[in-house]
Amino acid sequence: MKKIILTTLIALLITPSAFAEDIDVQAVSAPVPTLISNENTSEVIVEENQEEVMYNYYYSPTCGWCQKLDNFLNSHDAFDTLNINKIDVRTRGVEMVEAAEEHGIDGASVGTPFVTYGPNGTGSAIETGYYGALELFANALNVDAVEPTYETDASQRLIIIILGLLIIVGPLVYLGLKK
């Protein structure tokens, strides 16, 4: 019985990263419009002299993270305001693997959501994982990301593990003391 308890405790302590999404972020800031102030008035004019940023958003309809990201994008009308090319990996997944390998990521380890972006669809930068893509689109839309960051998830995972240990070990200790 003690071996089972010890094995369970070790397994729970070793695997907290199994609950986390691996995030590999290679951030490159998107082009920012040039602000020019008009000398005759107090207006600030935005000069649209930079190329438009295109986002290639690789997703799977069965991916829970993609569904959450879609909800965020739809709630902020991102598909209408940003130039997002939504690509289903069930039919065009090879493109996602090739884009990952162009950025030095092993194609076998890449998953959805996966976003490449750059001027006129060059894909010069990428974001992988839900949190990276959420932050990218939130910045592009100039809104706050409504999801907790990766760092807060780590502390929440620790609390869940401790509570889980108490739930598992508590009754076993009680039964052991009762004998």
Reported as a single tens digit per residue, the pLDDT across 79-134 is 999 999 999 999 988 989 988 888 888 888 888 999 999 887 677 888 888 989 99
Say if residue 93 is in the same domain as residue 179: no
> Considering the entire predicted model, what is its pTM?
0.54
In a domain, residue 3? The reply is no
Say if residue 143 is in the same domain as residue 154: no
Q: Residue 119 in 3-state DSSP?
A: strand
In a domain, residue 10? The reply is no
> Is residue 150 pLDDT above 60, yes or no?
no
Q: Which domain holds residue 52?
A: 20-147
Helices 129-141 and 64-75, packing angle to 10 deg? 10
At 58-92, the pLDDT tens digits run 999 999 999 999 999 999 999 999 999 999 999 98
Say if residue 79 is in the same domain as residue 129: yes
Q: Can you read off the two tokens belonging to residue 65?
A: 């993270």
Number of domains present in the structure of the chain: 2
Say if residue 45 is in the same domain as residue 119: yes
Say if residue 121 is in the same domain as residue 159: no
Say if residue 137 is in the same domain as residue 175: no
143: domain CATH number is: 3.40.30.10
**DSSP letter (8 states) at residue 29:** P
Say if residue 32 is in the same domain as residue 76: yes
In a domain, residue 8? The reply is no
Say if residue 90 is in the same domain as residue 175: no
Sheet holding 53-59, edge to edge: 25-26, 125-128, 114-119, 53-59, 83-88
